[in-house]
Amino acid sequence: MAAISVEPCTFALFGALGDLALRKLFPALYQLDRANLLHPDTRLLALAREVGSAQEHLDSIEAHLRRHVPEADIEPAALGRFLARLNYQHLDFLQPEGYQALAEQLPGELPLIAYFATAAAVYGAICENLDKVGLAARTRVVLEKPIGHDLESSRRVNDAVARFFPESRVYRIDHYLGKETVQNLIALRFANSLFETQWNQNSISHVEITVAEKVGIEGRWGYFDKAGQLRDMIQNHLLQLLCLIAMDPPSELSADAIRDEKVKVLKALAPITGDGLSTSVVRGQYIAGYSEGKPVPGYLEEDNANAQSDTETFVALRADIRNWRWSGVPFYLRTGKRMPQKLSQIVIHFKETPHYIFAPEQRLQIGNKLIIRLQPDEGISLRVMTKEQGLDKGMQLRSGPLQLNFSDAWRSARIPDAYERLLLEVMRGNQNLFVRKDEIEYAWKWCDQLIAGWRNAGDAPKPYAAGSWGPMSSIALITRDGRAWYGDI
Ligand code: BG6
């Protein structure tokens, strides 16, 4: 049995035949089972609106599982155990009638975990129906993003859930918080005094957060076009990363202590308005270009696209945090679809030494950088200056890495998918890695003013070729401050 103890539960997945469930959630549950992290009495219940035979749906779940779990990880014994825990039940989420049958299926007093992999518009109705059949009192609800598309709509969703569930039993997913390196960021910052003493405007000049994806929009055009990259990625994943970098040390490792500190950061974010809309933010939309050497269509030419859309597929911006720790330290955020590579990384740039004594032409290389790589090749590397070796090199400087590569350092350990960690933590009743209502709301408030500014200015996205690092103006955004995006090639 694994070192972590996990209580038994019934795990009910609403929207069990949807893309997220088939691609991410069932594979994550299988991996937990394989690692002996599901209690023997835990039951899994797939709930979906699709009629038809339960066995057919279970077969389809198994087929997807085999496709999305690496072949080497499919172990007959583990798979058999996993499938034996799994049942399918047809349920129309909006109709109270089916919930009675659901309640009858659920044994004894085991906690129920209700994971909503459905549209947020039905969260309230599911909660109400669970309550009607007396299940709410023993249920934890897990809410997938997006929770609304602005502050007002997110409040509506959160309030509908809050009528039946206290905040202590609501788990809002931001899957970036489940990524191994993101958790390591907390360890790095708060278990090493080496960094914490330098973690402020005295020592850090600026911070970059890049989340680049190689893929375009493909089959998701309908959803994505209503959201855009700011709502889809910045409002949640990038602002969460920014909070973890910028927050003060919490007084303890409890969910609320961490979330209180993150909220302070969100409240301190300077709104981007007025001139800032043209100098501190860039919206882009990809046009046709190349990905891995092959021609790919532009955003407006994807299947089912509306050729007039002005939705952004790229955002770069400069965020400023108004407090003592970060005054004068810009956070440059950048995220886009159809970039040259899939890359999520945070780069902390430390200031130059106060007095420079080496050859002037080497000056540009100077400055330590802490690079926190989320994907691919998860790891942390600290770039330090040393001297080139050799008699003929004089005092020629070299920037090289002190490196901790997670998969090399612990070769035998598989890096778990973010969802494995998050599902495990819900089962353990630990809210540390989940987003509190006020965090979502402050993040929306900040994004809403930016979106309103774009709308009022009639700002159209700037084109960039698929396979490039975004519009030229995103390079100008940072070079204007005398800096460059780290490592762009
Ligand atoms: C999701 C977004 O939240 O994150 C997607 O809705 C995006 O548009 C995805 O592709 C990226 O996640 P990851 O883990 O692949 O970086």
pLDDT tens digit string along 81-127?
999 999 999 999 999 999 999 998 887 789 999 999 999 999 999 99
> Taking a C-beta distance cutoff of 8 angstroms, is the pair 61, 46 a contact?
yes
Q: Where are the domains of the chain?
A: 8-143, 176-412+444-478
Query: Ligand 1 atom 5: the closest Cα is on which residue?
Result: 232
Per-residue pLDDT, 354: 86
Question: How far is the centre of ligand 1, averaged over its atoms, from the C-alpha of 213 (Å)?
Answer: 8
Confidence of residue 203 (pLDDT cuts 50, 70, 90): very high
Q: Does 406 score more than 70 pLDDT?
A: no
> What is the band of 410 on the pLDDT scale with cuts at 50, 70, 90?
low
- pTM value is 0.94
pLDDT greater at residue 376 or residue 328:
328
- Identify the band that residue 391 occupies on the pLDDT scale cut at 50, 70 and 90: confident
56-87: per-residue pLDDT in tens? 999 999 999 999 999 999 999 999 999 999 99
Residue 158: C-alpha distances to residues 111, 171, 193, 296, 401 (Å)? 22, 11, 38, 39, 45
Crossing angle of the two packed helices 123-132 and 151-162, in degrees rounded to 10 = 10
Task: Tell me the CATH number of domain 176-412+444-478, given options 3.40.50.150, 3.40.190.80, 3.30.360.10, 3.30.559.10.
Answer: 3.30.360.10
Average pLDDT for 438-449: 97
Average pLDDT value for residue range 315-339? 98
Q: Do domains 8-143 and 176-412+444-478 have the same CATH topology?
A: no
179 is in an annotated binding site: yes
Which amino acids bring their CB within 6 angstroms of ligand 1? 175, 213, 232, 344
What gap in Å lies between CA 102 and CA 34, rounded to an integer? Answer: 27
Say what the pLDDT of residue 408 is.
64
8-state DSSP, 280: S
Instruction: Look up 39 and say whether it is catalytic.
Output: no
The phi, psi pair for 39, rounded to 5°, reads -65, 145
Q: What percentage of the chain has pLDDT greater than the value 90?
A: 77
Over 60: is that where the pLDDT of 1 sits? no
CATH of domain 8-143: 3.40.50.720
| Tokens at 317, concatenated | 């911006």
Tell me the average pLDDT across 321-343.
Answer: 97
The Å distance, Cα 175 to ligand 1 centre, comes to 8
